Amino acid sequence: MTGKKKFIVALAALYAFLGAVTVLLYVVLWTTLAAEEQRAVLRILHGREGIIIFIILAALAAMGLAFEYLYRHYVSAPLRLVEKLGVIVAADSKVRLPQEGPVELRALTAAINQLADERDALKHDVQEKIESAKEAIEEEKNRFAALMSELNQSVIVCNVDGRILLYNNGARRMFRVEAGPARPAGGSLVGLGRSIFGILERSLVAHGLDRLRQRLASGDAHPIAHFVTSAQDGQLIRAQMAPVMHRDHNGTQEVGGYVLTLEDITQHFELENQRDMVLQSLTEGSRSSLASVRAAVENLLEYGDMEPAQRDRFLRIVRDEVETMGARLDKTVNEFADALKVRWPLEDMLGFELVQAAQQRIEQRLSLLTKTEEVDEELWLKVDSYSLLQVVSYLAARLKDEFQVRELRFRLSSAGRLVHLDLIWSGVIIGTETLVAWEMDPLTAGGENSPLTLREVMERHSGEIWFQRDKASHRAYFRLLIPAATAPAAMPPLSLHGGGRPEYYDFDLFRQTEEYSALDDRLLSQLTYTVFDTETTGLDPSAGDEIIQLGAARIVNGRLLRGEVFDCLVDPRRPVAPESLKVHGITDDMLAGRPTIDRVLPDFHTFCEDTVLVGHNAAFDMRFLQMKEGRSGVAFRQPVLDTLLLSTIIHPNQESHRLEAIAERLGVNISGRHTALGDAMVTGEIFLKMLPLLQEKGIRTLREAREAAERNFYAKLQY
Amino acid sequence: MGKTILIVDDEPNIVESLEFLMNREGFDTIVAGDGEEALQALQSQVPDVVLLDVMMQGKDGYEVCRQIRATPDWQQAKVIMLSAKSRDTEIAKGLAVGADAYITKPFSSKELVQQVNKVLGARP
């Protein structure tokens, strides 16, 4: 009821009440009068009816006005205040109550305004604290993520069910799948929420976990388990396993997951093998030759009376065997030079970068000018960069201090398995004995001391250093001979959709224990989804239309993972219809030579294993997938959710449920539409926005969502 | 009657020296260039001692020794293994398959002759 209506009703009620009371009082008064007195009163009133009615009306009007005044100030005004207060509470906390009305009300509004001010200040404070806490957490998260992704080792963290909660770049690279005939889409086997058992033998991991538990039980606070296993393509992997402790409701500690540090030891192993082979070839080969030599020589010595021809034969045996041994030694050194290298940790480094670092160091610490000439930028070195830099700046410092050299130039050139690093200066010639003396002194330069000598560092590198003159140009140089390394194979970065750091970890997965509830009864917010989309040659799979592009991304714990995507073009073995070409712009040329659908689908099947499929108008895409079941040998039996149907549940009164329309309604930015992956991404984002809206409708579990979608679908059909 | 020695090695240079040495020490010698040849030689004449190289292409010394010990007619032949393999495990294996002695290369001629005489003298 509006204020005005309320007021009229209240006024009418007042008048009725006053009238009733007045009439009642007069009736009572009337009954107490005697008959004559009644007559006397009637006589007095007779002829004055007009005045009486006027007085009554005037009194009523006066009372009405007074009532209106009171009502306006003490009823309407507070009511208005309450509405305004509602705005302050719910919508705009900046609004304040106006100072109006009677004194009492003013005092009240003043008090309320003050309260509102205080509330604002408090809110602001809390907000600020939250912001700064968030920032700190964000910073920590970024630092952590950076640390993890820069780590050389592969690290994977799993919960006890073997679901991956965290991984780093190293792990992703270790288990990357090259796009090839077997796996057209490429990608990696590592992904958030995926099972570790896709990578490592289940029984090995279980055994490791058992051992960890045993050690914990026997009082070892930091147990570690090791195992070696081979991965899918023959890599040899050494794994170290450490538990992540978890406190349950009762406060007892138990293993909630584990950290796996993985190392690809295939190369180590090969190197060890090589060393073994070197050792064997040297010892056994040499023993045989030595035996022949010794036997021949002993015969010669013992039986001096032998025939000259026999003596010659023995002598020839000795010569031949010694030659064989020499050749064997040369061959071994050449073939196994790398395996025989000293075990000092030398790292592969671009020679050009070493020169740059040396220049910077010399210029900054010694204020000596440096230049480069002919630096081969492709050369890789096998060096301990720290000690080698010390050597270079040590030489520079002595040249500057003792021979007043003003400028130093660098040259870097290849010499077979070795590299020449030349330090060149002009003018002063130093004696070879000077260098010999320098070689034995500890390395000191620019205030930095090292216990090592120049000689020791060169020996560590199996290198050499000498002094050389270039008489023609009046220049001299030190030549450092250091081992070359082969350039590491370029690692193309894993393709990422969109920018930003990929999502490498999700600790909320720790709390997920899938074994307790079947998929159908789990909360929508907890499920893992694969959002996918296809582009096709046309609209009718039964008439032979085919998939030409398949794109998908994963949603884990309410996050769309842009780093773990499936994106693949497919050769349909038939032309693309012109109408479809207009939509997606994929031409026949782009598809020629791509893998066919029966090769792509098994991969996609692996990609979306154990997840719920989500698509827009998913029935269309599913029909294409199901048509291929026979040929590809994989069936997609997992639950499917359709964002189109879900949209009809959430917004039954809207006309359009096209992807663009939904995206606009839900405030999702559209980019990269009409590529399968682009559409899958948009679908994923709108799906995430739909989850809270579904919850408002009481749809929380997968079962509820599927049933509601089915109902809506049949309701649509009945129209 | 002179004792016969079968020399089995696939390296002609050592064979030459061994043959000369054994002849000078008064033994008759037969030479085999690999395991198969050795077994053939054994079939036509059972020697008193077999100087057996371990590492040979095809049938190696271990295999030849095992067959000698598995053939009843050849039991009188003593086997001395000559090998560049010098690990404990390899020596143990040689003795386990039935060798009477195991000598690692390079060896001294004197010792070899002593060893040959020893296995012959130890004959019951």
- Give the full edge-to-edge strand order of the sheet including A612-615: A559-569, A547-556, A529-536, A612-615, A640-642
Helix (H, G, I), strand (E, B) or coil at A658: coil
Would you say residue A499 has pLDDT above 50?
A: no
Both tokens of residue A300? 């010669």
Secondary-structure class of domain A517-718 per CATH: alpha beta
Both tokens of residue A3? 């204020």
Secondary-structure class of domain A151-264 per CATH: alpha beta
Interchain contact, A291 vs B24, CB within 8 Å:
no
Q: What's the rounded Cα separation, in Å, for the pair A163 and A161? A: 6
Q: A269-340 adopts what CATH topology? A: Helix Hairpins (1.10.287)
Would you say residue A719 has pLDDT above 60?
A: no
Chain B residues near residue A281 by CB distance under 8 angstroms: none
Digit-coded pLDDT (tens) for A110-121: 998 999 899 889
Which helix (H) or strand (E) segment is A393 a member of?
helix A385-403
What share of chain A has pLDDT > 90, as a percent? 15
Digit-coded pLDDT (tens) for A132-155: 998 888 888 777 777 777 777 788
* Residue bearing the bigger pLDDT, A636 or B114: B114
Digit-coded pLDDT (tens) for B16-47: 999 999 999 999 999 999 999 999 999 999 99
Measured in degrees and rounded to the nearest 5, phi and psi for residue B119 equal -65, -30
Amino acid at A535: E
Lowest mean per-residue pLDDT among A21-30, A265-274, B115-124 = A265-274
Judge contact between B42 and B68, C-beta under 8 A.
yes
pLDDT for A292 equals 92
Report the C-alpha dihedral over residues A15, A18, A21, A24, rounded to 10 degrees: -60
What ipTM was assigned to the predicted interfaces of this complex? 0.84
Nearest to A385 by CA among A429, A331, A343, A344: A344
pLDDT for A598 equals 85
In Å, how far are A84, A117, A120, A137, B31 from A123, measured between CA atoms? Answer: 19, 10, 5, 21, 104
Q: What's the rounded Cα separation, in Å, for the pair A190 and A168? A: 9
Asked if the peptide bond before residue B106 counts as cis, ω within 30 degrees of 0, the response is: yes
Interchain contact, A306 vs B109, CB within 8 Å:
no
Just give the CATH number of A347-485.
Answer: 3.30.565.10
Domain ranges of chain B: 4-119
Does A306 touch chain B if contact means CB atoms closer than 8 Å? yes
pLDDT for A186 equals 56
> How do B4-8 and B28-32 pair as beta strands?
parallel
- The residue assigned the tokens 């390296």 is B11
Search chain B and give the residue with CA nearest A282.
B84
Please count the other Cβ atoms lying within 10 Å of the Cβ belonging to residue A380.
20
Does A317 touch chain B if contact means CB atoms closer than 8 Å? yes
Digit-coded pLDDT (tens) for A396-429: 999 988 888 889 999 999 888 888 999 999 878 8
Secondary-structure class of domain B4-119 per CATH: alpha beta
Both tokens of residue A366? 């010694």
pLDDT for A312 equals 92
Q: What's the rounded Cα separation, in Å, for the pair A425 and B67? A: 74
Digit-coded pLDDT (tens) for A218-242: 888 888 888 777 776 667 788 889 9
Digit-coded pLDDT (tens) for A325-341: 888 888 877 776 655 55
Which bin fits B108, alpha (ψ -120 to 50), beta or left (φ > 0)? beta
Digit-coded pLDDT (tens) for A602-657: 888 888 888 899 999 888 888 888 888 888 888 888 888 989 888 888 887 777 88
What does the DSSP assignment read for A535-604? EESSS-GGGT--EEEEEEEEEETTEEEEEEEEEEE-B-SSPPPHHHHHHH---HHHHTTSPBHHHHHHHH
Q: Tell me the pLDDT band of A500, cut-offs 50, 70 and 90.
A: very low
Among partner residues B11, B16, B105, which is closest to A313 by beta-carbon distance? Answer: B16
Judge contact between B13 and A325, C-beta under 8 A.
no
Contacts of A328 (CB under 8 A, 6+ apart): A281, A282, A285, A286, A289
Does A456 touch chain B if contact means CB atoms closer than 8 Å? no
Q: What's the rounded Cα separation, in Å, for the pair A435 and A389? A: 17
Mutual orientation of helices B35-44 and B61-70 as an angle, nearest 10°? 30
Q: What's the rounded Cα separation, in Å, for the pair A40 and A647? A: 85
- pLDDT, averaged across chain A: 82
Helix (H, G, I), strand (E, B) or coil at A687: helix
A207 is catalytic: no
Mutual orientation of helices A3-32 and A49-71 as an angle, nearest 10°? 140
Digit-coded pLDDT (tens) for A302-326: 898 888 999 999 999 999 999 998 8
Amino acid at A249: H
Judge contact between A455 and A439, C-beta under 8 A.
yes
Chain B residues near residue A287 by CB distance under 8 angstroms: 84, 86, 104-106
Interchain contact, A295 vs B21, CB within 8 Å:
yes
Amino acid at B96: A
Domain ranges of chain A: 151-264, 269-340, 347-485, 517-718
